[in-house]
């Protein structure tokens, strides 16, 4: 994959570069601010991008704003945003940007397998949310009280990009049971009946916005 990175921490940026190149990926550019990140994406048209939420000059929300700007300029551009903390409003904005997005906390980047898996999933048009981010958003907005504890577990794993069979394996239940739980989730969230991959994203959005 061809990748563009926006990270002002030199140590972390170089660590990402070494990791990604060791996995056979091409790092097309490493930028340190939002504007240069947008320029690099428009120049290189990468398969996926990695952006820190907080970038110069104010170290507040420049990174995620740049990510949302990229999504408006290049519809569908896969973007993985990572942060030290959960930025609630921007996490919701990123989810609403559609498929091919991810939000991970920096601790997750240290777990190499999880990080690489998430990056591949996002590059393929999937959506990945860090479990802690999802938990905080759910708690903050108290969306759908009708979901059972098991349905919430299933929805959290869906948000992390796991397929039905993977969720079944992680929860030690049958594929049929997971299919039933997901059907119940879609029904309780009043989602359309057609079977589309993006319906999983809609489920997370509906869950957070109720």
- pLDDT at position 210 is 54
Do 125 and 43 share a structural domain? yes
Is there a single domain that holds both residue 98 and residue 150? no
Q: Is residue 136 part of a domain?
A: no
The parent domain of residue 171 ranges over 142-209
User: Residue 89 is encoded by which pair of tokens?
Assistant: 């409003």
**181 in a structural domain:** yes
Does 120 share its domain with 162? no
Q: What is the pLDDT of residue 61?
A: 82
CA nearest to 91, candidates 58, 121, 133: 133
Q: Are residues 86 and 173 in the same domain?
A: no
What pLDDT is recorded for position 129?
Answer: 81
Residues 10, 87 share a domain: yes
> Per residue of the chain (210 residues), what is the pLDDT tens digit?
999 999 998 998 999 999 999 999 999 999 999 999 999 999 999 999 999 988 888 877 888 889 989 998 998 899 999 887 766 666 777 777 777 888 888 776 777 888 899 899 999 988 888 777 766 665 555 556 678 889 988 988 887 778 899 999 999 999 999 999 988 888 777 676 555 556 677 676 666 555
Residue 92 lies in a domain: yes
Residue 140, pLDDT score: 58
In a domain, 134, yes or no: no
Whether residue 180 is found in the same domain as residue 118: no
Give the pLDDT score at 33: 93
Q: Are 118 and 58 within one domain? A: yes
Residue 136 to residue 74: CA distance in whole angstroms: 29
48 located within any domain: yes
């479990």: which residue's tokens? 131
pLDDT at 206: 63
CA–chain centroid gap for 88, Å, is 13
Yes or no: say if 40 and 4 are a contact pair by the CB < 8 Å rule: yes
Do 115 and 147 lie in one domain? The reply is no
| CATH number of the domain residue 201 falls in | 1.10.10.10
Q: Do 8 and 104 reside in the same domain of the chain?
A: yes
Please give the Cα distance from 156 to 152 (Å, whole number).
6
Q: Based on the domain organization, do 124 and 147 belong to the same domain?
A: no
Among residues 169, 156, 158, which one has the least CA distance to residue 200? 158
Q: Do residues 56 and 117 share a domain? A: yes
Can you give the CATH number for the domain in which 31 is found? 3.40.50.2300
The answer to the question of residue 101 being in a domain is yes
Q: Is the pTM of this model over 0.85?
A: no
CA neighbor of 38 nearest in space, from 60, 71, 81: 71
Q: Which of 78, 99, 129 is the last residue of a domain?
A: 129
């Amino acid at each position: 994959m061809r990748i563009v990175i926006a990270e002002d921490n030199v140590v972390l940026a170089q660590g990402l570069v070494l990791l990604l190149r060791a996995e056979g990926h091409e790092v097309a550019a490493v930028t340190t601010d939002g504007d240069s990140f947008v320029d690099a994406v428009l120049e290189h048209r990468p398969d996926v991008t990695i952006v820190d939420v907080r970038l110069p000059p104010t170290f507040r929300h420049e990174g995620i704003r740049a990510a949302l700007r990229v999504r408006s300029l290049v519809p569908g551009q896969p973007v993985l945003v990572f942060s030290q903390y959960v930025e609630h409003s921007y996490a919701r904005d990123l989810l609403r940007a559609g498929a091919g997005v991810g939000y991970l906390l920096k601790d997750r980047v240290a777990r190499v397998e999880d990080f690489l898996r998430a990056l591949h999933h996002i590059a393929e048009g999937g959506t990945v949310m860090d479990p802690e981010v999802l938990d905080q958003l759910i708690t903050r907005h108290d969306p759908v009280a009708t979901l059972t504890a098991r349905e919430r577990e299933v929805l959290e794993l869906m948000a992390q990009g796991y397929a039905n069979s993977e969720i079944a394996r992680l929860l030690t239940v049958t594929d049929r049971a997971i299919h039933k739980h997901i059907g119940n989730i879609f029904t309780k969230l009043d989602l359309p009946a057609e079977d589309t991959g993006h319906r999983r994203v809609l489920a997370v959005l509906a869950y957070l916005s109720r």
